[in-house]
Structure 1
Amino acid sequence: MIEIKDLHKSYKTGSSELHVLKGINFSVKEGELVAIMGSSGSGKSTLLNILGILDEADSGSYILDNVPIKNLNETVASKYRNQFLGFIFQSFNLINYKSALDNVALPLYYQGVKRNERNEIAMSYLKKVGLESHSHHLPNELSGGQKQRVAIARAMASHPKVLLADEPTGALDTKTSYEVMELIQGINDEGKTILIVTHEPDIAAMCKRNVVLKDGLIIDDKMVEQVRISAYV
Structure 2
Amino acid sequence: MIEIKNLHKSYHMGKNSLHVLKGINFSVSEGEMVSIMGSSGSGKSTLLNILGILDEADEGTYTLDGTLIKDLNEKVAARYRNKFLGFIFQSFNLINYKSALDNVAMPLYYQGVKRNIRTEKAMHYLEKVGLADWASHLPSELSGGQKQRVAIARALASDPKVLLADEPTGALDSKTSYEVMELIQGINDEGKTILIVTHEDDIAHMTKRIVNLKDGIIIDDSKVNQVRAKTEAYV
- TM-score class, shorter-chain normalisation, is over 0.9
Give, in whole Å, the separation in 1 of the partners of 2:229 and 2:196: 16
| Counterpart residue number, 2:191 | 191
Give, in whole Å, the separation in 2 of the partners of 1:194 and 1:232: 23
Amino acid across the alignment from 1:14: G
Amino acid across the alignment from 2:121: I
SS at match of 2:230: helix
Amino acid across the alignment from 1:112: G
SS at match of 1:230: coil
Give, in whole Å, the separation in 2 of the partners of 1:14 and 1:87: 32
The answer to whether the 8 Å contact 2:179/2:231 transfers is no
TM-score of the superposed pair, with normalisation by structure 2: 0.98
Deviations along 1:146-176, one digit per CA (max 9) or x if unpaired, are: 0000000000000000000000000000000
Q: What's the CA shift for 1:229?
A: 1.3
| Counterpart residue number, 1:113 | 113
TM-score of the superposed pair, with normalisation by structure 1: 0.99
| Counterpart residue number, 2:80 | 80
| Counterpart residue number, 1:147 | 147
Q: What's the CA shift for 1:231?
A: 8.7
Percent identity for Structure 1 against Structure 2? 79
| Counterpart residue number, 1:201 | 201
| Counterpart residue number, 2:228 | 228
Q: Structure 2: any 5+ residue segments left out of the alignment?
A: none
| Counterpart residue number, 1:42 | 42
Give, in whole Å, the separation in 2 of the partners of 1:138 and 1:3: 39
User: Which 4+ residue blocks in structure 1 deviate beyond 4 angstroms?
Assistant: none
Q: What's the CA shift for 1:232?
A: 9.9
Give, in whole Å, the separation in 1 of the partners of 2:129 and 2:8: 38
Give, in whole Å, the separation in 1 of the partners of 2:231 and 2:213: 28
Give, in whole Å, the separation in 2 of the partners of 1:101 and 1:229: 27
Give, in whole Å, the separation in 2 of the partners of 1:231 and 1:112: 38
Pairing of 1:41-190 with structure 2 (within 5 A):
41-190=41-190
Q: What's the CA shift for 1:17?
A: 0.2
Aligned length: 233
